[in-house]
Amino acid sequence: MTQDELKQKVAHAALKYIKDVPVIGVGTGSTVKYFINYLAEMKANIDGTVSSSEATTALLKQAGIPVLDLNNVGTIEVYVDGADEITPHKQLIKGGGAALTREKIIAAASKKFVCIADGSKRVDVLGKFPLPIEVIPMARSYVAREMVKLGGQPVWRENCVTDNGNQIIDVHNLTILEPIKMEQAINNITGVVAVGIFAMRPADVVLVSDGEEIVTF
């Protein structure tokens, strides 16, 4: 199966987790696009969605699916999103699509976080995928220097402005053996808006399409 077929398959597998769920949190990325296509087929049964990015909002509206403000929704029953890396402990790196801050907010506000991905995203240790950090623009150089102290090699993602008007640093060459500690340490750097480690609030369910089968853990 091609990578696109694997993404489509795992997106379909997530549908059983949103049965009878009126408001669904929807993430961002290539795998989630397939999930949105399936949502469109069952939109009559959905009261609305909470979107993690302007790009996802556009796709949802295009499909005729209502998009709601999280402030008016409160707690979300289920949030479905992809990831750039996933460990066996369901800890993730996210933010390749620059939507990590809103994704983190929705994950925090959700009772169940279902992560969907193809098998290439599975790792034993986080860090091979460059770690995205959303920063206030004036703090970019300062945060980059602090990340060097933590052993990383920061690179500014040029020409990228997040939906919140901020910038992204991608940190290369990290081996994140203690994701919770690293997440906390980066959160404590002044000027950081959000870091793409999802360890303090990991996924609750991970669905991975490995060839013909869907692996759930």
Q: In this structure, how many other beta carbons lie within 10 angstroms of the beta carbon of residue 101?
A: 20
Half-sphere exposure of 90 (CA within 13 A, CB side): 17
Q: What is the mean pLDDT of the chain?
A: 97
Question: Which structural domain range is residue 115 located in?
Answer: 3-123+200-216
- 108 and 25 assigned to the same domain: yes
- 38 and 75 assigned to the same domain: yes
Transcribe 95-122 into DSSP letters: -TTS-HHHHHHHHHTEEEEEEEEEGGGB
- pLDDT tens digits, one per residue of 12-30: 999 999 999 999 999 999 9
- Strand, helix or coil for residue 205: strand
- 190 and 205 assigned to the same domain: no
Phi/psi of residue 211, nearest 5 degrees: 65, -125
Q: How many distinct structural domains can be found in the chain?
A: 2
- pLDDT tens digits, one per residue of 23-62: 999 999 999 999 999 999 999 999 999 999 999 999 999 9
CB-based contact 6:208 (threshold 8 Å): no
Record the pTM. Answer: 0.97
Q: Which residues are catalytic?
A: 103
